[in-house]
Amino acid sequence: MREIVIVGGGYAGFSTTWGLEKKLRRGEARVTVVDPRPYMTYQPFLPEVVAGSVEARHAAVSLRRHLRRTRLIAGSVTEIRNSARTVTVRPHSGPDFDLHYDVLVVTAGAVTRTFPIPGLSEQAYGLKHVEEAVAIRDRLLTSFDRAATLPRGPERSKLLTVTVVGGGFTGVEGFGELLGLATVLLRHYPEIGAEELAFHLVEARGRILPEVTDRPGEWVVRSLEKRGARVHLNTQLVSAEAGRVVLSDGAEYDCGLLVWTAGNAANPIVHNHTDLPVDERGLLTVRADLRVGTDTDVVADVWAAGDNASVPDLAAGRPGARTVPNAQHAVRQGRRLAKNILAALRGRPTKDYAHRSLGVVATLGLGRGVFQYRRLVVKGFPAWLMHRGYHLLAVPSWERKARVFAVWTTAALYGRDIVSLVSVQHPRDAFTSSGDPHRGEEPTDAVAG
- Name, in order, each residue with C-beta under 8 angstroms of 133's C-beta and a sequence gap of 6 or more: 46, 47, 49, 50, 56, 59, 127
**Three-state DSSP class for residue 272:** helix
Cβ-contact 266, 279 below 8 angstroms: no
Distance, CA of 316 to chain centre: 25
Q: Is the Cα dihedral 108, 112, 118, 119 positive or negative? A: negative
Helix, strand, coil shares of the chain, percent, nearest 5, are 40, 25, 35
Supply the DSSP symbol for 442: P
- Averages of pLDDT over runs of 10 residues in the chain (449 residues) are 95 94 93 95 92 90 92 96 96 95 95 92 93 94 95 96 95 96 94 96 94 91 95 97 96 97 88 92 94 92 95 86 86 95 96 87 91 91 93 87 91 80 70 67 47
How far are the Cα atoms of 9, 95, 108 from residue 72, in angstroms, in the given order?
9, 17, 15
Q: Which residue type sits at 180?
A: G
DSSP string, 404-440: HHHHHHHHHHH-------GGGGSTTHHHHHTT-GGG-
pTM: 0.88
> In what order do the strands lie in the sheet containing 230-232?
124-125, 257-260, 161-165, 198-202, 230-232
Q: In whole angstroms, what is the distance from residue 435 CA to residue 447 CA?
A: 24
Report the amino acid identity of residue 423: S
Instruction: Please measure the distance between the N-terminal and C-terminal CA atoms of the chain and give it in whole angstroms.
Output: 55
Residue 443: DSSP 8-state: P
